[in-house]
Amino acid sequence: MKSLSAALVLSIALPLAAGAADFPAGRVMAMASGDWNKDGVADLALVATPGDDSGEDNGLYVYLAKPEENRLTLALALPYTVWGNLNLHGQEPELAALANGSFTLTTKNDAVGRDRWRQSLTVAYRNFDFIVAGYTFSSYDTLDPDGGSECDLNVLTGKGKLRGQPIAGKAQFVLLKDWRDDIARSICGLDN
């Protein structure tokens, strides 16, 4: 019943949410619903295209529910920050809600060239803002079976695994709006 209620709230609020970020719902590439701020009401994260032929990256828009007002409000807008496209299968960005109230934002290239990769950020709501709590990267070379890499990092502790072996770096509290991939890539030993 709770998921039905969340779906009803989202179906009513999505047109309002789209207007708040000033883009039509037809530009939405991916979405996930979960309770980001743990107030018992479903929130929303969207990836939307820039809406023009500029070649710019997509935007991430995160909304928090305001149940007393029966609407979603834009809590974070990061236009031109999410790589990917819908024109080529294997390059679509993905969003997924996690049971703990966080969500993952995944970008990937599963289709073009010999270097295939997948990168996920685990995003959590802490201290009234969105932070990057985790970073996962995997890659493989379609022509070289030994050419890939794999790293799973807890950004908050600086600890993780690189190709199954423990690694440690600096523990960091990084706001999503300030995130740069090289923060985790340097700990993982990945080339930019």
pTM of the predicted model, to two decimals? 0.85
**53: in domain:** yes
What pLDDT is attached to residue 70? 83
Does residue 16 have a pLDDT over 50? no
What values do phi and psi take at 111, rounded to 5?
A: -135, -35
User: 49 and 119: one domain?
Assistant: no
Claim to verify: residue 28 and residue 75 sit in the same structural domain = yes
| Structural domains of the chain, count | 2
**Among 46, 26, 43, 22, residue whose Cα is nearest residue 34:** 43
Which domain range does residue 13 map to?
A: 1-84
User: How is residue 52 annotated by DSSP?
Assistant: S
Of the spans 5-14, 45-54, 62-71, which averages the highest pLDDT? 62-71
Confidence of residue 113 (pLDDT cuts 50, 70, 90): confident
Q: Looking at per-residue confidence, does 136 or 85 come out higher? A: 136
User: What pLDDT, on a 0 to 100 scale, did the predictor assign at position 59?
Assistant: 94
Of 63, 84, 105, the residue at which a domain comes to its end is: 84
Residue written as tokens 């990092």? 153
Same domain, 3 and 69: yes
Least confident stretch, 4-8, 107-111, 142-146? 4-8
Residues 130 and 179 in one domain: yes
- The answer as to whether 61 is a domain residue is yes
Is residue 2 located within the same domain as residue 68?
Answer: yes
80 and 145 in one domain?
A: no
Residue 90 lies in a domain: no
Question: Is 95 a domain residue?
Answer: no
**Tens digit of pLDDT for each residue in 75-104?**
999 999 999 987 778 889 999 999 999 999
DSSP states of 125-173:
EETTEEEEEEEEEEEEESS-TT--EEEEEETTTTEEEETTEEEE-----
Find the mean pLDDT for residues 49-73.
88
Residue 180 maps to a domain: yes
Is position 97 within any domain?
no
